[in-house]
Structure 1
Amino acid sequence: MEIYREFASVYDLMQYDIDYPLWINQLDSIAKKHMTNPRSILELACGTGTISVGLSQKGYLCEALDISEDMLTIAQSKAYDCGAKIKFYHQDMANFSTKKKYDMVCCMCDGMNYQHDIDTLSKVMQQINLHLNEEGVVVFDLSSKYKLKEIIGNNTFAETFESEAYIWENEYDETLNLLNFSLTIFKDEGNGYERYEEFHTQRAYEIEDVLTVINPFFEVLDIVDGDSFKQKHEQSQRICFILKKKTEVQITEAK
């Protein structure tokens, strides 16, 4: 999608405050805690591939997908530089299909917030279920409603780096629970700075709403603070869901 083209080039710079080593170690621990000899992992909305590369370096057979070709280009380069053998798919997580099954499916750092309605979120859960081995584990996070409404909503952020800068303007729609934001990116192209603009929308979900789409497919193992992986609280800015596939669920693949 065009909205991710220039975002891809500054994505890692904007994520500097995320503790990726902690996330990677926690995903590894969750997989080993709830499965015997977990081997394969699929990451949805993988972005620039930091998590998939980290899990691959821990010995997992990793595959990953993203809707943005530009994100995947960076992810492939990152995997190559690290010697990580990862297969990447250019697919939308709302209707993805790799025709394989995995021990774990994960989606970190707001991928689910880009699913703007309950029906689409339910389709994602159905596709995850189809791609999960028996008793497989699912881990995904959401930026919380508290974060999107109170921290980000109706605020503007700006930051400069060595050869890039951005202005991030946000507007929160309380009726629809949607965060609409414009991202203006300035990049040094060698003969001066070029200006690019993208528009994004994220949905804020209540935990209870997410549970309604989880329940047909998965057992909830835990719901934790998605930044620390400790107990969630009212001001948690990220909520992480840890789930296990229900063995009795029989779902046919969506057309």
Structure 2
Amino acid sequence: MSSYGRFAEVYDALMTDIPYDDYISWVAKYAPSKEYKKLLDIGCGTGKMATEFTKLGYEVSGLDLSEEMLTIAAERFMIEGVNVPLFCMSMDELEGFENLDIVTIPIDSINYLSNQEEVQETLSRVYQSLRSGGQLFFDVHSLYKMDEIFMDSPFTFDDGEITYLWITEAGEAPHSVHHDMVFYIQQENRLFERFEEYHYQRTFDIQTYIDMLQQAGFSEIAVTADYLEEAPTEKSERIFLRAVK
């Protein structure tokens, strides 16, 4: 499973288009904090969503495999004055949590698991960590995004301070992608520092995710797409799944 390294330093600056508020509203609609208190944010990254969940009254813990991401999250929590315990752990090795009301795995984090066995193990461990009636919320890249949109690289970005070149290649496994990224970050002396990062992601068709959720023990599985309360289409880019224990 790949994780974020130095990319964590510029993640927030490059992800301003992510509609975090819509994601949070989705969770709060089906699991309001008055009834669902204990929330574990898996793949919490820099802590933006965890911070907002806390402000809504949830008791939040954050988990991520990237120490760099967790360092930035801890700084954010200190500035915001919120208490969010953090854990460095791979999601398919989840342990030590019980009677959770909500688990979130946002922003295609589960796609960083490299095979179906790791996804199944993650879902099973999440199920064991939830209380009866607890809910899991997560999203994944669609087949269309993996097989079509990601294959239109190279992608570039330049705002004068951050420049990147992002090249993708299809992976050996079906619906998988290798991401090779080169960053140039302007320093205080106005020179640019260069670093590289490599990520690998894989997704599965919707029915496979449903089957894995059912195998883990979940019921009442709902599937929507692209931050909308609508059914997925052939060109949906992001699939949202909600399941109840």
TM-score normalised according to structure 2 size: 0.93
Q: Distance in 2 between matches of 1:179 and 1:2?
A: 12
Q: 5 Å matches for 1:196-235?
A: 196-216=195-215, 217-235=217-235
User: Deviation of residue 175 (structure 1)?
Assistant: 5.1
**1:238 and 2:238 equivalent?**
yes
Tell me the residue number matched to 1:88: 86
Q: What's the CA shift for 1:204? A: 2.2
Contact 2:2 2:112 in 1 (8 A): no
Question: Number of matched residues?
Answer: 243
The Cα shift of 1:3 comes to 5.1
Map Cα deviations across residues 32-85 of structure 1 (whole Å, 9 max, x no partner): 3xx971111001111111111111010000001000011011111112222221
Aligned partner of 1:46 among 21, 44, 49: 44
Matched, 1:12 2:25: no
Q: Which residue of 2 aligns with 1:157?
A: 155
Gaps of 5+ in 2: none
**Aligned-pair distance for 1:243?**
0.2
Give ranges in structure 1 of 5+ residues lacking alignment: 246-255
Counterpart residue number, 1:253: none
Q: 1:10-50 CA distances to partner (integer Å, 9 max, x unpaired)?
A: 21122111111111121111213xx9711110011111111
CA distance in 2, matches of 1:230, 1:3: 31
Contact kept? 2:2, 2:199, Cα under 8 Å: no
Name the residue aligned to 2:28: 28
* Percentage of matched positions with identical amino acids: 26
- Residues in 1 aligned to 2:2 and 2:129: alpha-carbon distance in whole angstroms: 28
| Paired letter, 2:90 | D
1:114-129 equivalences in 2 (<5 Å):
114-129=112-127
Contact 1:6 1:185 in 2 (8 A): no
The separation in 1 between residues aligned to 2:106 and 2:141, in whole angstroms, is 10
CA distance 1:3–1:45, shift in 2 (3 Å): closer
Please provide the CA RMSD for this pair: 1.8
Shift of residue 110, structure 1, vs aligned partner: 0.9
Deviates more, 1:197-206 or 1:187-196: 187-196
Residue of structure 2 equivalent to 1:139: 137
Q: Secondary structure at the match of 2:83?
A: coil
**Match 1:75 to one of 73, 76, 90:** 73
**2:74 aligned partner, one-letter code:** Q
The DSSP-based 3-state class of the residue aligned with 2:242 is strand
Q: Distance in 1 between matches of 2:20 and 2:231?
A: 19
Quote the Cα distance in structure 1 between the aligned partners of 2:40 and 2:224. Answer: 21
CA distance in 2, matches of 1:138, 1:175: 26
What secondary structure does 1:208 align onto? helix
* Matched residue, 1:252: none
Please give the secondary structure, in 1, of the residue aligned with 2:145. helix
Residue 2 (structure 1) shift: 8.2
Q: Distance in 1 between matches of 2:30 and 2:24?
A: 10
